Structure 1
Amino acid sequence: MASENMEISLPLELHPFVIRVLDDPDLQQRLASIVEAKAFVEESLKVAAEQEIPLNAEILASTLRPDPLGLGRFTSAPLQMDNWPPIGWLPTRTVQSQDGTPAFDWVWFGPHRHSRPFFEEDVRRAEAMPFNWLFRVRTGLQALISGYGSEPEVPLKGLIFHMSRCGSTLLSQMYASVPDSLVSSEPEPLGGVIQWIRLAKVDQESAITVMRAIVAALGRDSGTGAKYHLIKAEAWNAHSIALFRNAFPSVNWVFLYRNSIEVLVSLLRQPAIHTVENLMPREMVELNDEEPRSREEFAALVVAKIGKSIITHQHLGGGLVIAYPDIIDAATTSIP
C-alpha cells in the first residue's frame, strides 16, 4: 500500500482521508482534476462520506495554500515517503537535505504527458491544482534509488544538448507532438542531481545509479501510451556528456548549435541562469579560473566552454552535431 511507511505533516483529522485517497487511483483521478479550492473541498467531502470517513471541511480548507513561487521546497512537505509515491506522481523539484544530498518533491500528473516547451511549465500547471497542495510528497535520495527498477518506465531513447537559443525547443516540441513520445524539457530534478554529483564529487558508480534513477522517475509509465522518452538537457549539461554516456551508453545524443554572435545577442537581451555570473556555481559552467571583466565576456566564455566541451567529448560516441539551419530537415532524417 502507498500509505505504508509514510509521515504525514497534516492535521490528524485529515490522516484517514489522505491514506484512503493515496491507496485508490480512481479517487486520485477524481480529485486531482479539480481546479478550484472550494470545489475540491466539496468533492472531498463527498468522497469522505462515500468512504464513511469523517472529514472536517474547515480543517481541510485551512491546509489548502497555493504556492505559485515554489517556496514549499524550503519547508516540510505534507507527505514524506521512504519509497516512490503511487503511479501518477513525478519528481518536480530538488530540495536540499540536512546531509547535503538532494531530496525530491513529487506532485500528481496522472496519465498526462509532460510535453510543454519546458518541464517547469508542466510543473506549474500541476502545482496549481488543489490536490497537489494537499498531496505533495517528499522523498530522500535513498528512496529515489530504492524505487528504481521497481516498476515500468518509458525507455529513454534520446538526449538533446544545445548551445542555447539555437532551436532545441523547436526540436523537442516537434517530437513532443508525436503521440507515443514523452519529452522532458530541461527538468529541474535532473539538473539538481547533476549539480550534486559534480559539486560533491560523487563516485562514478553512485553517480550512474542516481542518474538512472532520476531519469526512470521522470519517465514513469503512467498510462500515457508513450513508448519513447526524450530529454532535452539544459545548456550547461553539455559539460556532463561523459556522465550521461556512462549512465546511458546505448542512448544517442544530438548537439544543436548556432552562430555564436546570434546566440549571445539573444542571451544578453534575455539572460539564462547559466550566463549570469554568480547565479550558478562556476564549476557548473567550467569557469574555475577565468575572470571575466563584464557580463558580455562572461556570457561569451560560457558559450565558448559549451562548444569546447562538445568537441572534447565527441570521441565518446553516440553524438550528432546539427547546425541551426539544418534542424528541420535533420528532425525527420538523421536525428531519428
Structure 2
Amino acid sequence: MENSDHPLLHWIPNKLIEKEGEVYFEWIYLGDKRYLDPFFEETLVKCVGYSNNSTRFKLVSTVENLIDWSEQLVSTDLKAFVFHVSRCGSTMLAQSLAVSPQNIVIAEAPIIDAIIRSDLFDLDKKKILIKAVIALLGQKRFPEEKNLIVKLDSWHIFEANELRAIFPELPFILLYRNPTEVLKSHSKLKGMHMVPNLLPSKIFGINDQQMKELTFQQYGAVVLEKYFEAYSNFYEKDQNVAVYNYKEGMREILEKVMDIIDVDYYIEEVDQMYERLKKHSKNETNVFNGDSFLGENLAIDMVKVNHLYEKLQEKLTAQLAGRN
C-alpha cells in the first residue's frame, strides 16, 4: 500500500500511556504541518486544534499495533543522529537542515525520549519500538521528502551504545562547546537537564550522595562533566562518529553534515540553509548576532569540566590525525 492510500498517513504516535498494567500509544494527526519548528513539541502544539485531535475520542493503539503499522508506511531514509551537550548549535543545525523540503528533521521528540527512558519494556522490545517510532515519525508524507535526521535530547549520549546496536551503520554526529559558554547560556535560561531533580539524576550517572553535596549551580557543571566523559568514551571506540566544536562555525559544521548526509541539494536549497544560519536558532524572525556573554563569574568549580573539554579536544586532534 502506498502511503497516500494508508489510513494512518499524517498520524504519528506522540504519547506513551500505562493503564492497568497495559501499555498503549496515543496518536496525533499532523495534517499538512511539517516539522519546521525549533522543537518537535512546538509543531505538535499547533496540531492540537485539528478536528481529528479535538474530539472526545483519541486514536490509541497497542504496542503491537504500532510495530505492525510502522512496517506498512513508507519511511524516508534515516541519515544521521545528532547528539549535543546543549547550547552548542544543534538547534541551528536542525533548523537549517529543515529548510530543505527534501529533509525531515525531528528535533527532540518527547515520544523517543519516553521510550528510551521507559522501564516498561525489555531491551529487545525497546529496540524494536525505537526503530518503529522513528520510522513512523519519518513517514514519507510529501513527495519531495527523502531524508530523515533525528536530533536527540542531550542526555541521550548516555544511550549511544544501545542506539548504536540498533543502528549499526548510521552516522552519529556529536556537537559540543566550551563548557563555560554552555553554562553562561544556561545561566540566562536553564534547560531542564540543568535543574536538579527535573530529570532523574541517575540518567547522568549522578548518585544520591553526590546530589546531597552539589549546589544548585554546581549541578550543571557536573552534568557537563558526564557529557564530556561520555563523548570521549564513545568517540574512542566508534568509527562512524563525527564530533564538531561550535567554535568551528555553524556554516562549516553545516557543510560537513551535508557531506555526511550525502544528498544532492539544489543550489537554492543550500543558499536558503545558509540564510537560516543568519537568524536566531529559536526565532527565525530575529537576526543572530552571536552570543552576548558578559564577563560575569559563574562562581562554580570548572576545573574538572574544563580538563575534560581539553582532553576531548586533544583526543579529537590525535585520532583525526590517525584516521587520516
How far does residue 132 in structure 1 lie from its aligned partner after superposition? Answer: 1.4
Q: Is the 8 A contact 2:67 2:132 kept in 1?
A: yes
The residue number in structure 2 matching 1:255 is 174
Alignment of 1:85-96 (within 5 A): 86-96=8-18
Separation in structure 2 between the aligned mates of residue 121 and residue 183 of structure 1, nearest angstrom: 13
2:184 pairs, out of 233, 243, 265, with 265
- Give % identity: 25
Q: Please state if 1:301 is matched with 2:211.
A: no
The residue number in structure 2 matching 1:171 is 93
Separation in structure 1 between the aligned mates of residue 44 and residue 112 of structure 2, nearest angstrom: 14
SS at match of 2:20: coil
Q: How many residues are aligned here?
A: 252
The residue number in structure 2 matching 1:34 is none
Unaligned runs of 5+ in 1: 1-24, 27-83
Q: Please state if 1:328 is matched with 2:251.
A: yes
Separation in structure 1 between the aligned mates of residue 117 and residue 166 of structure 2, nearest angstrom: 15
Letter in structure 1 aligned against 2:151: K
Bigger drift between 277-286 and 163-172 goes to 277-286
Q: Please state if 1:141 is matched with 2:63.
A: yes
Separation in structure 1 between the aligned mates of residue 220 and residue 21 of structure 2, nearest angstrom: 33
Alignment of 1:302-321 (within 5 A): 302-314=223-235, 315-321=237-243
Compared CA separation, residues 98 and 335, structure 1 to 2 (3 A): farther
How far does residue 178 in structure 1 lie from its aligned partner after superposition? Answer: 1.1
Separation in structure 1 between the aligned mates of residue 20 and residue 218 of structure 2, nearest angstrom: 36
Letter in structure 2 aligned against 1:202: D
The residue number in structure 2 matching 1:213 is 132
Compared CA separation, residues 111 and 225, structure 1 to 2 (3 A): farther
Compared CA separation, residues 277 and 153, structure 1 to 2 (3 A): same
1:133-187 Cα offsets, whole Å, 9 max, x none, are 1264222323222323222111211111100011100001110011100000000
Letter in structure 1 aligned against 2:47: A
How far does residue 255 in structure 1 lie from its aligned partner after superposition? Answer: 0.9
Structure with bigger gyration radius: 1
2:112 pairs, out of 172, 175, 190, with 190
Q: Please state if 1:106 is matched with 2:52.
A: no
SS at match of 2:256: coil
Q: Is the 8 A contact 1:112 1:224 kept in 2?
A: no
Q: TM-score, normalised by structure 2?
A: 0.72
How far does residue 129 in structure 1 lie from its aligned partner after superposition? Answer: 2.7
Separation in structure 1 between the aligned mates of residue 48 and residue 26 of structure 2, nearest angstrom: 11
Unaligned runs of 5+ in 2: 260-324
RMSD: 2.3
Q: Is the 8 A contact 1:89 1:109 kept in 2?
A: yes
Could you list the structure 1 runs, at least 4 aligned residues long, displaced by more than 3 angstroms after superposition: none
Q: Please state if 1:228 is matched with 2:147.
A: yes
**Structure possessing the higher relative contact order (Cα contacts under 8 Å, 6 or more residues apart):** 2
Q: Is the 8 A contact 1:181 1:229 kept in 2?
A: yes
